[in-house]
């Protein structure tokens, strides 16, 4: 861990990252890619020392209320968050100033803050987004070693369901020759149905690899799945988009299951929903882009 002084906290689309880097150890993580210009070891978490002060000032002076988001680059609930509590402080500010909130995580540490998530959702809107890739618990522990297992994330989704907090699942990435199976996808979808998730984001059955994360991914394949790296290199070379040979049938399963169970499965519609700010007391709805 190391500290930096940040110049700003919110992006043009009102997203933020309180931390840079991650200790979850997911073997496929795109945030390792060189294009993000992280000039420190990925596991050496960069903490924006003045993030909460910057967020306080930004929200205090915003002319229009909107949804605030976090988690697109670094999971906000890395283990360090249990010590520092910056996400909880950010949620407190969002509630104080009347902003909506959405975040993406793989950690059940989020349950620590369910009281604040509930308060925000009753006042405006709060959406919890949870990544789920692997139904098999043992496989999950191999490819996502330092984070809550899929079953633990499922328990989070059910707790959110019971609290009336809407949820969205990211069904990605799906790794060719590893978890691109009917059993895996149907198992995750069964979890989503039981948890009554609002929507599932899926860009296709596969993953992306580019400089930085490709090298790490292949090194982990060598350790965890002997000889599988050679199969990847032979099948995909240096492609950015790595598609499963079972993409067509698995996407058909995904869309038909969501349709039958009333789960939103159009990515554009889900992102529109995530960006839509709502004030519960007035029934007024505002787009993030208004």
Closest CA to 27 of 46, 40, 42: 42
pLDDT tens digits, 159-217: 999 999 999 999 999 999 999 999 999 999 999 999 999 999 999 999 999 999 999 99
For residue 83, give the 3-state DSSP assignment.
helix
pLDDT tens digits, 79-89: 999 999 999 99
Identify the band that residue 289 occupies on the pLDDT scale cut at 50, 70 and 90: very low
Burial class (CB in 10 A: 0-12, 13-18, 19+), 234: exposed
pLDDT tens digits, 47-103: 999 999 999 999 999 999 999 999 998 999 999 999 999 999 999 999 999 999 999
pLDDT tens digits, 250-278: 999 999 999 999 999 999 999 999 999 99
pLDDT at position 286 over 60: no
**What pLDDT was estimated at residue 281?**
60
pTM: 0.94
**What pLDDT was estimated at residue 70?**
98
- In order of start, what are the domains of the chain with their CATH numbers? 2-287 (3.20.20.70)
Tokens 């906000």 belong to 76
């Amino acid at each position: 861990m190391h500290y930096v002084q940040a110049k700003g906290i919110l992006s043009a689309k009102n997203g933020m990252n309180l931390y840079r880097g991650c200790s979850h150890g997911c073997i496929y993580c795109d945030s390792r890619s060189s294009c993000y210009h992280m000039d420190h070891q990925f596991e050496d978490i960069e903490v924006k020392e003045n993030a909460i002060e910057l967020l306080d000032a930004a929200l205090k002076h915003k002319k229009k209320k909107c949804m605030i988001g976090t988690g697109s680059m670094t999971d906000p609930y890395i283990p360090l968050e249990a010590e520092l509590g910056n996400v909880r402080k950010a949620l407190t500010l969002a509630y104080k100033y009347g902003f909506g909130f959405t975040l993406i995580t793989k950690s059940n540490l989020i349950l620590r803050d369910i009281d604040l998530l509930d308060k925000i959702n009753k006042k405006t809107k709060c959406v919890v987004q949870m990544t789920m890739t692997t139904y098999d618990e043992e496989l999950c522990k191999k490819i996502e070693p330092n984070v809550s297992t899929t079953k633990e994330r499922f328990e989070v989704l059910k707790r959110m369901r019971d609290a009336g907090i809407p949820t969205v699942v990211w069904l990605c990435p799906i790794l060719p020759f590893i978890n691109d199976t009917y059993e895996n996808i149907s198992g995750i979808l069964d979890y989503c149905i039981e948890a009554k998730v609002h929507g599932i984001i899926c860009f296709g059955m596969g993953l992306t690899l580019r400089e930085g994360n490709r090298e790490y991914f292949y090194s982990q394949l060598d350790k965890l799945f002997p000889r599988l790296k050679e199969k990847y290199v032979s099948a995909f070379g240096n492609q950015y988009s790595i598609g499963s040979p079972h993409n067509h049938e698995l996407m058909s399963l995904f869309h038909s299951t969501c349709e039958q169970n009333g789960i939103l499965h159009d990515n554009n519609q889900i992102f529109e929903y995530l960006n839509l700010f709502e004030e519960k007391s007035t029934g007024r709805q505002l787009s993030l882009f208004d």
